[in-house]
């Protein structure tokens, strides 16, 4: 079955903020059901990034689900590949592949591995999972667009804990050096990593000052404010832009929000029912 | 016979420029290694197609995967120890597993940095890269093979690890055409008593060893393996069957290297007595020439290993 969300979001001109909110709620419901069915997933990080994904696919990215290899598509890379289910849900609802694929998630020989694979999943640009990989690849995509004289843009979502990997700072340094205005890095600043709070582990603050020092424009916003996200992701700049999206891990379900233990805990049937009720309000 | 010696970085760069003139998809990526990768002329001719990311190998390989995503054909040129060691996970995830069309060019491998010591030697690169699924490993042995291997790599769709030596080598292809055919070895000398399997800088030394052995009435075949992955199984098995003894001589560690590859193949198909010569420990201080000899990779050392096998059989 092919979802009709793409039609709903794009057929009648630009999507409204209310449309994006509905899309985000549907992504969260789909993510929840998929994780519960598979008994595996990273729901906390899936939910912190959901509003970012719904905004990108709902009204920012220039992509075509019917033609995922279109040469001049915008490039989107989910560097925090462990949030695969929210990406798969977004892509399936957008029509990149049939919704039924989600039922196979992590099953034997499924196209949908625990981390995304570009050779199996339409709409995925590079295989992520190990942290600190997506940003340099997105940087290469942006350099290629510049060389080829294309106005396509590159976007990468990086987890905040992921910024502890040094490769990201190599990419910040070179992106700033080249003043790549066609590149946007989105930091999912949920302040939790697998084991603890980021600031208790290896602190990142002041993150805006750090990325500014590398030649980027920092835009610190509420990562669940859909209008702020839209504006931060589309307003032009004379420098590469780092959107520091202040998010809440597990956003959308009260008992999952902001708790380290929900990094990759799987909800029970009872918790799924409770969560679905909250997500349908 | 005049012996012209070639630093293979020179034909590499020459060929890359020729390819780039004809195909605007060809780009170069490096880590402050414009001079050590001999890319100065490429940069002058195609400044916008030269991506020097600075001393940042992880970013270098990731950027190359991004360039390949756009249909470009990036040649990542960096000293082999830093390319393969510092960016191993990027090579695994962004290139091999993602099946990105990135050419990884490991410059100055083996002990070619001589006196600079084991931090700068690249004796592990073949073992590390050989463990990755779907990454061909190509090790041209001379000027002609280098030119043809670069041309092949540009046309091959998919990742490649190309090992380009700086230690000067004579021609071993002897005017054979083609000098390089992907996946095929070259029997550069016929023989019946023992086969010396060599690659890169050791090929000319293996040929010299075969000359020494001929003086002692030992007939040595020499096989130049310029594609380590996939290995030319037919030629290696034929060598084992027809000569009954195998010496492997390589400028890298045997475990996981060419020696390991040959041993794995023959253990399953046609076991024969073998000697695996390689740079199997961190090197002491010395010049390239000294170190190759030190590790038994001199003509005399290789010949001695072959004689020992023949005597034992």
Task: State whether A136 and B100 contact (CB < 8 Å).
Answer: no
Task: State whether A174 and B100 contact (CB < 8 Å).
Answer: no
Q: Is the pLDDT of residue B2 over 70?
A: no
Task: State whether B64 and A140 contact (CB < 8 Å).
Answer: yes
Residues 6 or more apart whose CB falls under 8 angstroms from that of A123 comprise A63, A65, A68, A91, A94, A96, A97
Task: State whether A71 and B49 contact (CB < 8 Å).
Answer: no
Number of A/B CB contacts below 8 angstroms equals 104
Contact (Cβ atoms closer than 8 angstroms) between residue B305 and residue B298: no
Copy the structure tokens of residue A9. Answer: 């979001």
Q: Is the pLDDT of residue B3 over 90?
A: no
Chain B residues with beta carbon closer than 8 angstroms to that of A121: none
Task: State whether B66 and A129 contact (CB < 8 Å).
Answer: no
Is residue A2 one of the residues assigned to a domain?
Answer: no
| Smallest Cα distance from B57 to chain A, Å | 9
Chain A residues with beta carbon closer than 8 angstroms to that of B65: 126, 136-137, 140
pLDDT tens sequence across A136-183: 999 999 999 999 999 999 999 999 999 999 999 999 999 999 999 999
pLDDT of res. A261: 84
Beta pairing, strands B73-79 & B26-30: parallel
Q: What is the mean pLDDT of residues B159-164?
A: 98
Nearest residue of chain B to residue A175 (CA atoms): B53
Is residue A6 one of the residues assigned to a domain?
Answer: no
Question: What residues does B277 pair with on adjacent strands?
Answer: B249
Element (H, E) at A183: strand A183-189
| Smallest Cα distance from B28 to chain A, Å | 12
| Smallest Cα distance from B94 to chain A, Å | 6
pLDDT tens sequence across B94-115: 999 999 999 999 999 999 999 9
Q: Is the pLDDT of residue A6 over 70?
A: yes
Q: Rounded to two decimals, what is the model's pTM?
A: 0.96
B186-312 placed in CATH 3.40.50.1980: no
Radius of gyration of chain A (CA): 17
* Interface-testing mutation among A63, A115, A136, with chain B (most B C-beta atoms within 10 A): A136
Is residue A265 one of the residues assigned to a domain?
Answer: yes
The pLDDT mean for chain B works out to 97
Dist CA B306 CA B313 (whole Å): 11
> Nearest CB to A167: which of B51, B59, B71?
B59
Q: Which residues of B touch A (CB under 8 A)?
A: 27, 48-49, 51, 53-54, 56, 58-59, 61-72, 74, 89-90, 93-94, 97-100
* pLDDT band per the 50, 70, 90 thresholds, residue A219: very high
Is residue A253 one of the residues assigned to a domain?
Answer: yes
Copy the structure tokens of residue B313. Answer: 């059989």
Tell me whether A80 touches chain B (CB under 8 Å): no
pLDDT tens sequence across A54-91: 999 999 999 999 999 999 999 999 999 999 999 999 99
Chain B residues with beta carbon closer than 8 angstroms to that of A167: 58-59, 62, 90
Task: Look up the domain containing A91 and give its range.
Answer: 16-279
pLDDT tens sequence across A185-212: 999 999 999 889 999 999 999 999 999 9
Chain B residues with beta carbon closer than 8 angstroms to that of A137: 62-63, 65-66, 69, 94
> Nearest CB to A136: which of B59, B97, B99?
B59
Torsion of CA B130, B132, B138, B141, to 10 degrees: -30
Contact (Cβ atoms closer than 8 angstroms) between residue B195 and residue B239: yes
* pLDDT band per the 50, 70, 90 thresholds, residue A134: very high
CATH code of the domain in which A27 resides: 3.40.50.970
Torsion of CA B187, B188, B193, B197, to 10 degrees: -70
Chain B residues with beta carbon closer than 8 angstroms to that of A75: 66, 69
> Nearest CB to B58: which of A126, A148, A167?
A167
The question of whether B57 is a catalytic residue gets the answer yes
ipTM over 0.90: yes
Share of chain A above pLDDT 70, in %: 100
Task: State whether B67 and A118 contact (CB < 8 Å).
Answer: no
Nearest residue of chain B to residue A126 (CA atoms): B98
Tell me whether A75 touches chain B (CB under 8 Å): yes
pLDDT tens sequence across B16-70: 999 999 999 999 999 999 999 999 999 999 999 999 999 999 999 999 999 999 9
Give span(s): CATH 3.40.50.920, chain B. 186-312
Tell me whether A170 touches chain B (CB under 8 Å): yes
Nearest residue of chain A to residue B100 (CA atoms): A126
Contact (Cβ atoms closer than 8 angstroms) between residue B245 and residue B116: no
Phi, psi of B156, rounded to the nearest 5 degrees? -75, 130
Contact (Cβ atoms closer than 8 angstroms) between residue A260 and residue A192: yes
Selected catalytic residue, list B24, B48, B57, B300 = B57
| Smallest Cα distance from A204 to chain B, Å | 20
Task: State whether A71 and B71 contact (CB < 8 Å).
Answer: yes
Task: State whether A167 and B51 contact (CB < 8 Å).
Answer: no
Dist CA B163 CA B140 (whole Å): 7
Element (H, E) at A136: helix A134-148
Is residue A53 one of the residues assigned to a domain?
Answer: yes
Fold for the domain defined by B9-164: Rossmann fold (3.40.50)
The number of domains in chain A is 1
If 0-12 CB within 10 Å is exposed, 13-18 middle and 19+ buried, where does residue B3 land? exposed
Is residue A9 one of the residues assigned to a domain?
Answer: no
Give span(s): CATH 3.40.50.970, chain B. 9-164
């Amino acid at each position: 079955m092919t979802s009709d969300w793409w039609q709903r979001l794009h057929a009648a001109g630009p999507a409204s903020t209310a449309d994006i909110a509905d899309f985000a709620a549907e992504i969260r419901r789909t993510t929840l059901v998929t994780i519960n069915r598979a008994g595996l997933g990273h729901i906390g990080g899936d939910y912190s990034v959901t509003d970012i994904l719904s905004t990108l696919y709902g009204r920012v990215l220039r992509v075509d689900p019917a033609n995922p290899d279109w040469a001049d598509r915008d490039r989107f890379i989910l560097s925090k590949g462990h949030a695969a289910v929210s990406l798969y849900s977004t892509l399936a609802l957008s029509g990149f592949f049939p919704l039924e694929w989600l039922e196979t998630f992590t099953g034997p020989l499924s196209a949908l591995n625990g981390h995304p694979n570009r050779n199996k999943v339409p709409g995925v640009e590079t295989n992520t999972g190990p942290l600190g990989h997506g940003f340099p690849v997105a940087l290469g995509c942006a350099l290629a667009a510049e060389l080829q004289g294309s106005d396509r843009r590159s976007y990468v979502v990086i987890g905040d804990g992921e910024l502890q990997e040094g490769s990201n700072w190599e990419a910040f340094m070179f992106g700033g050096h080249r003043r790549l205005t066609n590149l946007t890095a989105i930091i999912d600043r949920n302040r939790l990593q697998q084991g603890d709070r980021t600031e208790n582990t290896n602190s990142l603050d002041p993150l805006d000052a750090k990325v500014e020092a590398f030649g980027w424009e920092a835009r610190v916003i509420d990562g669940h404010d859909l209008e702020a996200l839209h504006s931060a992701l589309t307003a032009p700049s004379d420098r590469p832009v780092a959107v520091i999206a202040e998010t809440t891990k597990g956003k959308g379900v009260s008992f999952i929000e902001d708790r380290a233990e929900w990094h990759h805990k799987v909800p029970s049937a009872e918790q799924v029912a409770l969560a679905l009720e909250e997500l349908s309000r | 016979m005049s012996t012209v010696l070639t630093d293979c970085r020179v034909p590499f760069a020459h060929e890359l420029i020729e390819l780039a003139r004809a195909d605007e998809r060809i780009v170069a990526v490096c880590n402050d290694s414009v001079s050590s990768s001999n890319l100065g002329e490429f940069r002058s001719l195609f400044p916008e197609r030269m991506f020097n990311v600075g001393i940042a190998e992880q970013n270098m390989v990731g950027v190359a995967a991004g360039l390949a995503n756009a249909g470009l054909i990036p040649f990542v040129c960096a000293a082999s120890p830093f390319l393969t060691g510092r960016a191993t996970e990027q090579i695994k995830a962004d290139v091999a597993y993602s099946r990105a069309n990135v050419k990884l060019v490991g410059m100055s491998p083996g002990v070619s940095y001589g006196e600079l010591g084991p931090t700068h030697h690249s004796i592990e690169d073949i073992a590390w890269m050989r463990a990755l699924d779907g990454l061909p490993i190509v090790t041209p042995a001379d000027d002609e093979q280098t030119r043809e291997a670069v041309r092949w790599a540009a046309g091959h769709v998919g990742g490649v690890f190309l090992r380009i030596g700086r230690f000067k080598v004579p021609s071993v292809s002897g005017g054979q055409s083609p000098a390089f055919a992907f996946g095929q070895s070259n029997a550069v000398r016929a023989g019946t008593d023992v086969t010396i399997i060599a690659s890169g800088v050791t090929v000319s030394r293996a040929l010299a060893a075969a000359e020494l052995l001929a003086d002692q009435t030992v007939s040595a075949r020499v096989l130049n393996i310029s594609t380590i992955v996939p290995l030319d199984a037919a030629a290696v098995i034929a060598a084992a069957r027809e000569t009954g003894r195998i010496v492997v001589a390589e400028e890298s560690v045997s475990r996981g290297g060419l020696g390991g590859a040959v041993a794995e193949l023959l253990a399953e198909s046609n076991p024969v007595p073998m000697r695996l010569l390689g740079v199997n420990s961190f090197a002491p201080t010395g010049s390239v020439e000294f170190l190759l000899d030190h590790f038994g990779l001199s003509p005399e050392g290789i010949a001695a290993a072959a004689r020992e096998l023949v005597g034992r059989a």
